[in-house]
Amino acid sequence: MSASVARSTPPERHFSDSFTWGVSTAAYQIEGAFDQGGRGPSIWDVFSHTPGKTARGDNGDVACDHYNRWREDLELLRELGIGAYRFSVAWPRWSPAGNGRVNPEGCEFYDRLVDGLLDIGVAPWLCLYHWDLPQALQERGGWADRDVVERFSDHAASVMAVLGDRVEHVALLNEPNVVGLLGHLLGLHAPGLSDLDAYAAATHHLNLATGKTLDRLRREGRGWALGTILNLQPVLAQGDSEDDAAAAALLDAVWNGNHLDPLVSGRYPAATEALLERFVREGDLESVKRPLDWFGLNLYSQLRVAADPSSLVGLRLVEPPEEAETTAMGWEVAPEALSRQLKEAQARLGEVPIVVTENGAAYRDRPGPDLEVDDLRRTNYLERHVREVLSAREAGVDVRGYFVWSLLDNFEWHEGYARRFGLVYVDYPTQRRVPKRSFRWYQQLVRSGVIPRSEDVA
Ligand code: GCO
């Protein structure tokens, strides 16, 4: 073989055509149009409009104005060349009071979005709950009130009755562990509670809603691929002491176990059972233990923890070591956490295929004169994480897809707009969208199935 032929031989593909490449978004973070098209208020409208709850008082009123600019955003998806787009349906847009009464304009919006995706050959991956509970339901107790389980199942059935002829992949809940902890115990997310009972009740009801809604949708016999999404992270003990190990085990139970354990084994972790069982009625846990068609893993980082007898729960989170690389969120960049977590999740889930439904990083992007962003650090973050997906696959983990968080810079919850996660830069005053270097890197990966070196993509 001559040298010139050897040079033109394409590198061996890392991923086959059947691997799903996607990007993820969430309704409240991008849609804006909070008072358009008959949408009702959600807990995030109320929370973000409460002084002091979000950075600089940022809220999702306008966000990326995706509700009005969705066609332009589909164009970006087409240009990116991905096979799948994960988005969420805003419950208060679908049913403003959360009582099942449907808002036709809300329905039409998602109806057109799904058609638009199919027209450009992108598979819609629909998430039924990404944190924007109708405020009317919060006023009746929200996730802490058991009645929400039925409301959510009804809502899921209503959405799928309209969109289910064109949507195959459905995720029930996005990160119930974050909803429980940040929303009901730490007060950082809507509804902004710091209440142990509300946390325990919400945790159980989120699990029950998952199980009951899986049954409900399966009874329809429509062949949907039903999954749910958890944010899981390896928990590392700071030191070698037994106390630190116990602290790590406790945090692991709370963060990773409270939702995964009941799903796979019908039990709560021993460490949290006493707290949660007050809300468990007979038969509940049997209806939570359900096989999934696929499992969504969101992973950004890992947690470090130490025992701390002076804290209420006996532990404290530890900052990453000084030499560790961190993102603008302060999260440690730990790509190996992804392959480790994929292997652990697979061991727990058995045969269930796994999809990385979110992975990405916020950096302080500095746009040039034409708003272009050379985000080498994000590109490099993504490159290293995709390599870990590959290594997990090589180790036998059944990872079927990978979704970047996120298509666009967007409303990063209580951190507001300063935390940019997008492959596409959004200039909020003009709503101009400008693809970053990471966008071109991802485009190349999706097109070739070969992981490009981040430095090689301009
Ligand atoms: C998450 C959320 C996203 C966040 C992202 C970055 O699932 O935590 O789905 O909404 O914006 O994770 O923090």
The reported pTM is 0.97
Using the atom order of ligand 1, give the atom closest to the CA of residue 421: 6
Distance CA 412, CA 54 (A): 10
Q: What is the Å distance from ligand 1's center to 131 Cα?
A: 10
Q: What is the Å distance from ligand 1's center to 103 Cα?
A: 27
Beta bridge partners of 170: 126, 226
**Whether 108 is catalytic:** no
Q: What is the Å distance from ligand 1's center to 174 Cα?
A: 9
- Please tell me the predicted confidence (pLDDT) of residue 23: 99
Using the atom order of ligand 1, give the atom closest to the CA of residue 413: 11
Report the relative pairing of strands 315-317 and 303-307 from DSSP bridges. Answer: antiparallel
Mean pLDDT by 10 residues, the chain (458 residues): 52 92 99 98 98 98 98 98 99 97 98 98 99 98 98 98 98 98 97 97 98 98 97 98 97 98 98 97 98 98 97 92 97 98 98 98 96 98 98 98 98 98 98 98 98 94
Cα–Cα distances (Å) from 416 to 28, 181, 274, 362, 451, in that order, read: 12, 19, 36, 12, 32
Closest CA to 88 of 229, 211, 222: 229
Closest CA to 336 of 387, 296, 378: 387
Cα–Cα distances (Å) from 46 to 58, 363, 434, in that order, read: 12, 28, 31
Distance CA 376, CA 399 (A): 26
Under DSSP, is residue 186 helix (H, G, I), strand (E, B) or coil? Answer: coil
- Please tell me the predicted confidence (pLDDT) of residue 10: 65
**Whether 12 is catalytic:** no
What residues contact 312, with CB distance under 8 A and at least 6 apart?
A: none
Q: What is the Å distance from ligand 1's center to 2 Cα?
A: 50
45 in contact with ligand 1, CB cutoff 6 A: no
Using the atom order of ligand 1, give the atom closest to the CA of residue 300: 12
64, 175, 417: which to mutate for ligand 1, most atoms within 8 A of CB? 175
246, with CB counted inside 10 A (0-12, 13-18, 19+), is middle
- Please tell me the predicted confidence (pLDDT) of residue 4: 47
31, 175, 388, 412: which one is catalytic? 175
Closest CA to 437 of 415, 452, 416, 447: 452
- Please tell me the predicted confidence (pLDDT) of residue 8: 59
Interior CA angle at 220 toward 219 and 226, to 5°?
A: 80
178 in contact with ligand 1, CB cutoff 6 A: yes
Q: Whose CA is nearest to atom 6 of ligand 1?
A: 412
Half-sphere exposure of 216 toward its Cβ, with a 13 Å CA cutoff? 20
358, 359, 363, 411: which to mutate for ligand 1, most atoms within 8 A of CB? 358
358, 383, 388, 412: which one is catalytic? 358
175 in contact with ligand 1, CB cutoff 6 A: yes
26 in contact with ligand 1, CB cutoff 6 A: yes
Q: What are residue 290's phi and psi, to 5 degrees?
A: -145, 140
28, 298, 415: which to mutate for ligand 1, most atoms within 8 A of CB? 298
Q: What is the Å distance from ligand 1's center to 183 Cα?
A: 13
409 in contact with ligand 1, CB cutoff 6 A: no
Q: Which CATH number fits domain 20-234+246-300+321-452: 3.40.50.300, 2.30.30.40, 3.40.50.2300, 3.20.20.80?
A: 3.20.20.80
104, with CB counted inside 10 A (0-12, 13-18, 19+), is exposed
Closest CA to 404 of 420, 431, 386: 386
* Tally of CB atoms within 10 A around 155: 25
417 in contact with ligand 1, CB cutoff 6 A: no
- Please tell me the predicted confidence (pLDDT) of residue 1: 42
Report the relative pairing of strands 225-231 and 169-174 from DSSP bridges. Answer: parallel
Q: Whose CA is nearest to atom 13 of ligand 1?
A: 412
Using the atom order of ligand 1, give the atom closest to the CA of residue 175: 7
For the record, the structure tokens of 136 come out as 């009317």
- Please tell me the predicted confidence (pLDDT) of residue 3: 44
Beta bridge partners of 424: 408, 435
138 in contact with ligand 1, CB cutoff 6 A: no
DSSP classification of residue 367 = -
In order, the DSSP letters of 238-295 are SSSSHHHHHHHHHHHIIIIIHHHHHHHHS---HHHHHHHGGGPPTTHHHHH----SEE
Under DSSP, is residue 133 helix (H, G, I), strand (E, B) or coil? Answer: coil
3-state secondary structure 50-90: CCCCCHHHCCCCCCCCHHHHHHHHHHHHHHHCCCEEEEECC
